[in-house]
Chains A and B, each alone.
Chain A
């Protein structure tokens, strides 16, 4: 079963890459872009048929490795 995870920076944590992308988009005449936050996306193939179990495993992986909870939030989608 494939589980998808999105890791993003927490609100309030400076995201210089997002800022650079925002400025570039504005410079390319995408004038109505107000903010950009960059994140990470993972597709994890788990050998598990029960979706609840698979997601709970991935949740553990997020806490222990995929996200650093000092600055990042994660969402299992």
Chain B
């Protein structure tokens, strides 16, 4: 499975993502934001970081960069596009995903391990995943997901909510919501579920000695579903 990771000025999880993808057997290549086209890929990843210094709004400048047109075309033709953290913010700014990531409710930068519940498995990312709750890592200042009531209803009706913040046992409530996101939303899909944006970093959970391996499950699962 071929993947491409797009590097924006200020991306800082691009190499982590490269390491993670290669570890599980993706043939990954790095693509610069100023390029016009993306080499043939089965998966495009927009990595975490602070593209363009988070100027104006997180992800807003990156969402207008040269490479984005190719990303949008790829997504609209059904290709898998995964946005992690700043990548999720970029995807909402392009309009590929609904809503926006606002500043965390309590104005703090959050860096910690959290649990997320997988809400939908009828998609190429989570289909046949053995676990329902994953331990992943978040590190963000703007992860407070917000959308209009109509958009929320449409997300719920179409099962586009991908993952939600929860406790280790899967309980979702205010105490397991780190940043104030509506309905504890940590990640969503587009209507066709080929585009996934989420705040948690699976690429930081791929080593059983350093972190945990729930990120490994995530990447292996994408590969298994591709076969």
Contact = CB atoms under 8 A, between A and B. Distances in A.
Chief secondary structure at chain B's binding surface: loop
A71 B146 contact: yes
B99 A70 contact: yes
Contact of B57 (A13, A14, A20, A68): A68
Nearest to B151: A70
Contact of B56 (A16, A20, A66): A66
Given A66-B56, A68-B93, A14 B180 contact: yes
A33 interface: no
Interface in A13-49: 13-14, 16-17, 20
A13 B93 contact: no
B60 interface: yes
Contact of A16 (B60, B100, B106): B106
Interface residues of B, number: 19
Contact size range, A: 10 to 19
Contacts of A68: 57, 60, 93, 100
Contacts of B100: 68, 70-71
A68 to B, nearest CB: 6
B174 to A, nearest CB: 14
B148 A70 contact: yes
A65 interface: yes
Given A65-B64, A68-B57, A70-B146, A14 B105 contact: yes
A16 B143 CA distance: 13
Interface in B21-65: 56-57, 60, 64
Contacts of B99: 70
A68 B147 CA distance: 11
A13 B146 contact: yes
B102 interface: yes
A71 B107 CA distance: 17
B4 interface: no
A65 B105 CA distance: 24
Nearest to B61: A65
A44 to B, nearest CB: 13
A17 B107 CA distance: 7
Given A16-B105, A65-B56, A70-B147, 5 more contacts: A14-B180, A16-B107, A68-B100, A70-B100, A71-B146
6 contacts: A13-B102, A14-B180, A20-B107, A68-B60, A68-B100, A70-B146
Interface of B: 56-57, 60, 64, 93, 98-100, 102-107, 146-148, 151, 180
Interface of A: 13-14, 16-17, 20, 65-66, 68, 70-71
